[in-house]
Chain A
Amino acid sequence: MMKKNLISNVVQNMKPSGIRAFFDLVLGMKDVISLGVGEPDFVTPWHIRESSIYSIEEGYTSYTSNKGLVKLRTYIAQDLKKRFGLIYDLNDEILVTVGVSEGVDVAMRALLNPGEKVLVCSPCYVSYGPMVELAGGVPVYISLTEKQGFKLTPKLLEKNITPDVKAIMLNYPCNPTGVSYTKKELKDLCKIIVKNDLLVISDEVYGDLTYDFDHTAFPTLVNARERTVYLNGFSKTYAMTGWRVGYVCGPKEIIAAMTKIHQYTIMCAPIMSQMAACEALAGSREPIDEMIREYHRRREFVVGRLNEIGLKCHKPQGAFYAFPSIKSCGLNSVDFASKLLKEKRVAVVPGTAFGPEGEGFIRISYASSFDHLKEAFDRMEEFINNKCR
């Protein structure tokens, strides 16, 4: 056995996820209807899979340039211009990453000096805080509350800014709450961000899954582009989670710094995934639009059913998650989820997985077929009628 300092202090000090045991319980059980899945229930559309298979047959099995295939960066630049009017130079302002996850990691490492603070909303996706910590920074959590519909308000933002805060991590539409922001709301946040000279790392991977209004890309706001690292990927929109391909856009200096780290640690995203991503952007959008319409309908169904069975829920504006309150049941999140799993074989994620503010809530993913959703809600209704009334 080696001596005590086997593991680095940073990693030692990182809190392990509190609900690992619950996850293991779910994964060990059979015949569970799961509303706990953080990825689309669609398989990657065939034309995308086929183009990747073809590229392998043609012998595209090598490295690509560090920044990613020129063809893919060209398509990304065209796509951003077409959808948001955003202009990024494919030569030095776009970097293809191994999913958005790598993008967040590399952004943090490129931007942070030891001890510099990053604002992170909570509840939030599980990786942001740990990635700040791994980069030597300090995450400062902004507590979002149900009362404000889990939205970051300008007031709340301003209250949390101190001189040693360097950046803010944004994610909208948000995993786990489904919250997104209108252009007006973003404008108001942006003013404060600019006034305080903060950097923005904006994870907009669920951007295409916005239902009530058009998604606004953060760098399109006034004075935002120069300070924003825009992150997006193919996982959610194109049902391509397993391909691990995403991209980062930002000012030249930041992309150059990020590319430096990326080239030493990752080299490049897998070429077959990049080929698939090319087809995703160039090919037919029909299956994608169909998926989005389907999510939209499921959202209405899920929110309607939640209200019917008495779980209060703000209306999620995007992604494929609902984040209802289970406080009326008098159980905490983990107990609620565990009992629901054991008694009714329905899996949901306890809200506490996404931060202490998630206590009293569960995350429901509607990336599940309508038949499953219907059955799961019938079972949940029985459960609630037994337990909570």
Chain B
Amino acid sequence: MDEILEILQKDARIAPQEIAKMTKSKLSDVKKKIRRYEKEGMILGYKAIINKEVVDVKGSEVRALIEVKVAPQKDLGFDKVAERIYGFPEVVSCYLLSGGYDLLLVVEGKDLKTVARFVAEKLSPMEHVRGTVTHFLLKKYKEDGMNLKSKEEDKRLAISY
């Protein structure tokens, strides 16, 4: 992966000026590259990682992982069905998997009822959906390489040789 992407993936707030210093490149080149990555969709956006274990976020307090069995369509495979499913705003992630079921969804809702209603009224009755298994999420420990706990303090002596 390009170094600029590696840096931004770790900390999107690092300014182009700083990236230019770190990578010993020209500021204009860095800016140009970032613009290109944005245009070509390699960088899709920038956002803060919020630890929802700590912050109360109204409106998305319940999360569920839902396994979905799907009958693939001729010529279209799973893509068309997946598209119809991930179009719902409740679906925050959608993956196609190998193994016992086909799609794995991460669904968010403000309470149990909302998620249950989504499964019962939207997802299950959908054409080509053969069955679902819903797992409600109890606690997140790590997400996208990030440990979801408050920062550990520096245990080193403040000064040493």
A residues lining the B interface (CB < 8 Å): 23, 26-27, 29, 32, 34, 36-39, 41, 43, 125-127, 175, 293, 297-298, 300-301, 304-305, 347, 349, 353-354, 370, 374
| Chain A contacts for B11, CB-based, 8 A | 370
B interface residues, how many (CB within 8 angstroms)? 18
Q: Say whether, besides A297-B7, A300-B24, A370-B11, A36 and B160 are in contact (CB < 8 Å).
A: yes
* Cross-interface CB contact of A304 among B3, B21, B152, cutoff 8 Å: B21
Digitize B18-38: 1 where CB-to-A-CB distance is under 8 Å, 0 elsewhere.
100111100000000000000
A301 and B160 contacting across the interface, CB-CB below 8 Å: no
B160 and A374 contacting across the interface, CB-CB below 8 Å: no
* Cross-interface CB contact of B158 among A37, A43, A126, A370, cutoff 8 Å: A37
B132: min CB distance to chain A, Å: 35
Interface centre among B3, B152, B158, B159 (most CB of A within 10 A): B159
| Chain A contacts for B156, CB-based, 8 A | 37, 39, 41
Measured CB to CB, the nearest residue on chain B to A305 is B21
* Cross-interface CB contact of B14 among A29, A175, A370, cutoff 8 Å: A370
B116: min CB distance to chain A, Å: 38
Any chain A CB within 8 A of the CB of B154?
yes
Number of cross-chain contacts by CB at 8 Å: 54
Contacts A34-B158, A36-B160, A37-B158 given; 8 further ones with Cβ under 8 A?
A26-B159, A27-B157, A32-B158, A37-B156, A39-B156, A293-B6, A300-B21, A300-B22
* Cross-interface CB contact of B161 among A38, A43, A300, A304, cutoff 8 Å: A38
* Cross-interface CB contact of A37 among B6, B21, B152, B157, cutoff 8 Å: B157
Q: How far is the CA of A313 from the CA of B23 in the complex (A)?
A: 18
A39 and B160 contacting across the interface, CB-CB below 8 Å: yes
A27 and B23 contacting across the interface, CB-CB below 8 Å: no
| Chain A contacts for B160, CB-based, 8 A | 36-39
B23 and A297 contacting across the interface, CB-CB below 8 Å: yes
Q: Say whether, besides A41-B154, A370-B11, A370-B14, A301 and B21 are in contact (CB < 8 Å).
A: yes
A249: min CB distance to chain B, Å: 24
A27 and B159 contacting across the interface, CB-CB below 8 Å: yes
| Chain B contacts for A126, CB-based, 8 A | 161
A-B contacts, 11 listed (Cβ < 8 Å): A26-B159, A34-B159, A41-B154, A41-B156, A125-B161, A293-B6, A297-B7, A297-B23, A305-B21, A347-B159, A374-B18
B22 and A298 contacting across the interface, CB-CB below 8 Å: yes
Interface centre among A39, A41, A43, A301 (most CB of B within 10 A): A301
B158: min CB distance to chain A, Å: 4
| Chain B contacts for A353, CB-based, 8 A | 161
A102: min CB distance to chain B, Å: 16
| Chain A contacts for B24, CB-based, 8 A | 300
| Chain B contacts for A37, CB-based, 8 A | 156-160
| Chain A contacts for B161, CB-based, 8 A | 38, 125-127, 175, 349, 353-354
Interface centre among B7, B14, B22, B24 (most CB of A within 10 A): B22
| Chain B contacts for A298, CB-based, 8 A | 22
Measured CB to CB, the nearest residue on chain A to B155 is A43
- Chain B, range 38-56, C-beta contacts under 8 Å to A: none
